[in-house]
Amino acid sequence: MDLHAPLTALLRGLWSLDRGTIEPMLEKKKPRGRPPSIDSLLFRGDVAAVVDLVMRSGQTLPAACKSVSERIQRAGYRLPGRRGPKRGDCSDGAGLAA
């Protein structure tokens, strides 16, 4: 991976900050929606760790995601108002417990 161009852009952006201007890449982004709760973030991290352990036992990523997702759902856990990947799809890490 060639990092020369992005690092050069970052360096120029930081240099510009010293001179009182803000490059677009360093502008503060306005958050969209409500941020996830710390409990939700911690739970997702726990689920990701469990998926990793299941994969170490020999299952593929899709099989591990499906297995963990099904067990979480049987336990009654749901992400409120969740839209996105189908249940058991953790290709992006977001659908682990959808």
**Residue 82 reports pLDDT greater than 60:** no
Give SS3 for 85.
coil
Q: Rounded mean pLDDT of 14-22?
A: 93
Does the pTM surpass 0.75? The reply is: no
Here the tokens at position 8 are 């050069």
- Is pLDDT of 61 > 90? yes
Q: What is the dihedral of CA 81, 60, 58, 56, to 10 degrees?
A: -50
Q: What does the alpha-carbon distance between residue 89 and residue 63 come to, in Å, rounded to a whole number?
A: 9
